[in-house]
Structure 1
Amino acid sequence: MNNIITFEDFTKVDLRIGTIIEVNDFPQARNPAYQLTIDFGALGIKKSSAQITTLYSKEQLLKKQIVAVVNFPKKQIAKFMSECLLLGAVDGKDVILLNPENHVKNGSPIT
């Protein structure tokens, strides 16, 4: 284990379910990536850049539900503003996205 956090630290992280509604190539990114547009229900639409091109095609990602951190500050990546961070398990150089087993309402919190 790296750093021990308290439960209070954990509750500061806002993890939500969203559905990917648009996927575009991101040729300006340093490493191969997609630009994603994600629907978080009542929280609105957010954008994210994700280096997940080795395991996922654009067609596979469209309408896929994912888990993301939605309360990070925006981050500029090339000419793109990333507004949330998708969560995934790292397997070597690949990232396997975390997603709910069953369909969940967009914006649902992870507890």
Structure 2
Amino acid sequence: MEKIITYEDFTKVDLRIGTIIEVNDFPEAHRPAYQLKIDFGELGIKKSSAQITTLYTKQDLLNRQIVAVVNFPKKQIGKFMSQCLVVGAVKEKDVYLLKPESNVKNGATVL
């Protein structure tokens, strides 16, 4: 087990549901990745990059709902500014995106 955190620590992480509305190749990335634009409803549209090209095609990702951390500081990746962190489960070297069981409102909080 990793470090034990408090409930207060957990509440600092703002996990939200968003829908991927645009997917582009990211040839400048060190490892194969996509550039994503994600609609978080009232929070607006945020960009992220994700190294998920081995499991997902651009068509698989378009209009897919995902879970992301939306309160990280922005991160410059080459010429691309990532504004959120898409989360997933890691199996070996692959990342499997987390998603709600059924469609929910963009921007919904994940508890």
| 3-state SS of 1:16 partner | strand
Match of 1:28 in 2: 28
The sequence identity of aligned pairs, in percent, is: 76
Structure 1 unmatched ranges of 5 or more:
none
Count of residue pairs the alignment pairs up: 111
Extract unaligned runs of 5+ from structure 2: none
Q: Distance in 2 between matches of 1:24 and 1:49?
A: 9
Displacement over 4 Å in runs of 4+: none
- What SS does the aligned partner of 1:10 have? helix
Residue of structure 1 equivalent to 2:9: 9
Q: CA RMSD of the aligned region, Å?
A: 0.3
SS in 2 for 1:9: helix
Q: How many angstroms apart in 2 are the aligned matches of 1:52 and 1:21?
A: 16
CA distance in 1, matches of 2:42, 2:21: 15
Residue 10 of structure 1 deviates from its aligned partner by: 0.2
Deviation of residue 2 (structure 1)?
1.1
- The AA in structure 2 aligned to 1:33 is A
Instruction: Give the drift of 1:110.
Output: 0.5
Normalised TM-score (structure 1): 0.99
**What TM-score, normalized by structure 2, do the two folds share?**
0.99
The whole-number CA distance in structure 2 between the counterparts of 1:76 and 1:33 is 15
The 5 Å alignment of 1:63-78 reads: 63-78=63-78
